Structure 1
Amino acid sequence: MPAASPHLSETRRSRLIAIGLICCAVLFFALLDTSAKWLSGHMHPVQTVFARYAVSMVLVLMLLNPWSHPGVLRTKRPWLQGVRSLLLLGATALNFIALKYLQLAETVSIMFAGPLLVALVAGPLLGEWPGPRRLAAIGVGFLGVLVITRPGVGGMHPAALLCVFGTICYSFYALATRQVAAYDPPETTMVYSGVAGTLAVLPIIPFFWTMPQTPFVWLVMLAMGAFGGFGHWLLILAHRLAPATVLAPFIYSQIVWMIVLGWFVFGQFPDGWTFAGATIVIASGLYLLYRERVRKVPETAARLD
């Protein structure tokens, strides 16, 4: 067997590093949600959202600021940056409120439907129309969400609806991120996310603020912001080293961390319906990724997609 070319070996090495980074990123996101759920027993979710954004903003500005990165605040699409940041804020707030009542695995299973919604609305918004196979996968994925939430049968807390709305916000946030990436570097986008989110919550935080009673609560608040900031930073680094189609399947590993942390921290374990629904949603998402790869192959059969 001939030895692999240096270029091929370097590509494989970069992809392995990127996969490691994405796995670490989703671990940080799982720790973020775990911290937010724990804090919901000690303060209002609005205060939790503010802590997540304020701490993350400070950490990001320590690394990315006009002195260390001249021009980092310069954006070609300020309105798009603002809308994107507010969509992320809405998704975060709705998710944090839902976490107060739902298990970690339940919320992340519903959020996994985000790529399905992105594929559905990318047609009218971006002209990327899904074919019949991907439409079928999207429909099956949404059935998985219904299995998890079980509307009308009393299977889950009504807060699951907040998680659904949060997923909608996050899906449009993902589309806005794809659009703004054509104009601004990821460092600029990351700075605007933290600053816009913090400034949006700042005027209302006095109405919800309660002084943390113990140093440990302060520590969890600080850690939560750090988890969010570092998680998004690792996400950016990973996407610099490998394409999204390579990394996307590993994002689903977050559910493993959510199950483990939910059991270890809160003594909660998802029921069979949640496992079944999550499996359907994840399988549908992976099939969409597979069809995305097929579409890039110049074959006649790909026209069926």
Structure 2
Amino acid sequence: MARSDNLTGALLMMGSMVAFTVNDVFIKTLAGDIPLFQLLFLRGIVTTILVGAIAWRMGVLRVRLSRRDMGSVAIRIVAEIGAAYFFLTALFNLPIANVTAILQVIPLTITLAAAVFYRDPLGWRRLVAILIGFGGVLLIVRPGADDFTVYSFYALAAVGFVTLRDLITRRLSRDAPSMLVTFITSASIMVAFGLASLGGDWVAVDLRAAGLVLGASVMVVGGYLSSIMVMRVGEVSFIAPFRYTGLIWALLLGWLVFGEWPAPVTLVGAAIVVGSGMFTLYREAQLGWKRRSSLAPRPR
């Protein structure tokens, strides 16, 4: 029996989440063994080579971006650098499931920011869902609690930079190939963290560490390619909720690899964030269907 486009899209989305989560596990395993900037530089080398090879095979390296697109790409690079630094710093110092749970609020922050900066319509139902989702984040972070750590704010800073990145990405024209933008961004991140690493000590990389860096790079590229293919099959309203399977993988791998398990209140907060995000996606899909219906030609 032929597989439906929706099922294919769901499998690709889940595969993307597995790849990104495994990358996080590989990187977290190296915490304390390799300085952060050196680690990001080394991963950047491999990632840039892999993405560059794919971009070359696709023939997009010869495409010239417009001045407006280059400005957007420059801002996007800054956002990516900030997101990488704050996310990995949080990942090194917090359970992987906690960091992943906080990042599940990103669809809500993007929806809210798009309404503020792009004047996207935002009804009261989605606004209430966003506020409830932010309440769930407070349960995860728990400022003032005995087990509170400042690194939770690093994860929130990463959310802010990812939101900025995705908002800027919306400004890119259709003439800007995704793989070319990814290659420019990857190369820029590699250079930025390479320069930053010169200010600190470098450590020797043994075979185990090299394997983990290589594995992390492959997972990042694989996750990105899967997320691109997701947009080409199936219905977004059906596929998008499967992005939350990343939290399940983070819980499972965090327990198996690091012996971590979040506190019950953290799990409650994560459930609230995921529930709010899924409701927001559902409402967006519903409104999109209504808009398409109103624009469809009426039968004569």
Same-fold status (TM-score > 0.5): yes
Q: Which amino acid aligns with 2:252?
A: V
CA RMSD of aligned residues (A): 2.0
Aligned residues of 1:49 and 1:96 also touching (Cα < 8 A): no
What is the TM-score with the length of structure 2 in the denominator? Answer: 0.90
- Secondary structure of the equivalent of 1:100? helix
Consecutive unaligned residues in structure 1, runs of 5 or more: 1-8
Which residue does 2:43 correspond to in 1?
Answer: 52
1:18 partnered with 2:28: no
Q: 1:117 to 1:88 in 2, by over 3 A?
A: same
Which residue does 2:188 correspond to in 1?
Answer: 196
Aligned residues of 1:84 and 1:173 also touching (Cα < 8 A): yes
Which residue does 1:4 correspond to in 2?
Answer: none
Cα deviations across residues 110-169 of structure 1 (Å, max 9, x unaligned)?
011111111111123211031111110010000000000100123332101000000011
Which residue does 2:298 correspond to in 1?
Answer: none
Consecutive unaligned residues in structure 2, runs of 5 or more: 295-300
Which residue does 1:78 correspond to in 2?
Answer: 70
2:285 aligned residue (293, 296, 305): 293
2:24 aligned residue (18, 33, 37): 33
Q: Which amino acid aligns with 1:164?
A: L
Deviation at 1:68, TM superposition (A): 5.1
1:122 aligned residue (86, 96, 114): 114
Alignment of 1:236-275 (within 5 A): 236-275=228-267
Q: 1:251 to 1:158 in 2, by over 3 A?
A: same
Q: Which amino acid aligns with 2:253?
A: L
- Secondary structure of the equivalent of 2:171? helix
1:97 partnered with 2:89: yes
- Secondary structure of the equivalent of 1:129? coil
CA distance in 2, matches of 1:14, 1:64: 26
CA distance in 2, matches of 1:240, 1:193: 22
Q: 1:72 to 1:40 in 2, by over 3 A?
A: farther
Aligned residues of 1:86 and 1:196 also touching (Cα < 8 A): no
Deviation at 1:72, TM superposition (A): 4.9
Give aligned pairs, total. 290
Moved >6 Å (runs of 4+)? none
CA distance in 2, matches of 1:208, 1:180: 36
Which residue does 2:222 correspond to in 1?
Answer: 230
CA distance in 2, matches of 1:194, 1:229: 10
1:161 partnered with 2:137: no
Q: Which has the higher contact order (CA 8 A, sep 6+)?
A: 2
CA distance in 2, matches of 1:14, 1:242: 5
Which residue does 2:137 correspond to in 1?
Answer: 145
